[in-house]
Copies of this chain bind each other. A is one copy, B any other.
Amino acid sequence: MLTLYYAPGTIALASLIALEEAGADYTTQRLNFADEDQKKPSYLAINPKARVPSLVTERGILTETPAILIYICQQYPAAAMAPLDDPFELARVQSFNAYLCSTVHVAHAHLRRGTRWADDPAAIKNMKAMVPKTVGACFRVINDEIFVGPYVMGDQCTVADFYLFVLSGWLERDSVDIATLPKIHSHHELLSERPSVTRALAMQSA
């Protein structure tokens, strides 16, 4: 039995979608970021980095979205959420996920999490003002250079799609017009209709 620690409105949604897509036997533990649940000792014992998601398994605890996503793929190979038997194709998925976590999500985080990297209110304001440009540039690279279609990697829907779906869902908040990114826009609409996605969205809104 797996247990996913998540908070609504966070990147943990990607792992929640993957668990739903897999038909996994799992439970959830919900954190309330408004109450700073992620900084309480009970959660720091799960994840000393004070972030979500965390996935508790029978073998131990896993953190970081790219690691959790591929682990779920490996635990539920029948769901075919990653090209596990082709190291090059798997590396393409991993490369995409690494770009999302190291560059795209980080660009977005400067909107509301500027205190991670600055303590001067004027600096935080400047970082916030740059977000439409930086996030927009990341998504332009994805739209123009990386995205194959109809899914990120081509014909197969992978965990990279769930990860992108969550981040493209934040574009409006980032003041980036998704209509200027036609492939990302179509992809977001395609994923919105996927049953695993609608179930996961309903769970985090419940």
Contacts and interface: CB of A to CB of B under 8 A. Distances in A.
A130 B118 contact: yes
A95 B67 contact: yes
Interface residues of A, number: 48
A193 interface: no
Contact of A48 (B49, B68, B102, B141): B141
Interface of A: 48-49, 57, 59-60, 62-68, 70-71, 74-75, 87-88, 90-92, 94-95, 97-99, 101-103, 105-107, 110, 116-120, 122-123, 126-127, 130, 134, 141, 144-146
A71 B57 contact: no
Given A59-B88, A101-B98, A101-B101, A117 B107 contact: yes
Copies of the protein in its oligomer: 2
A98 B64 contact: yes
Given A94-B66, A94-B67, A123-B118, A141 B49 contact: yes
A102 B91 contact: no
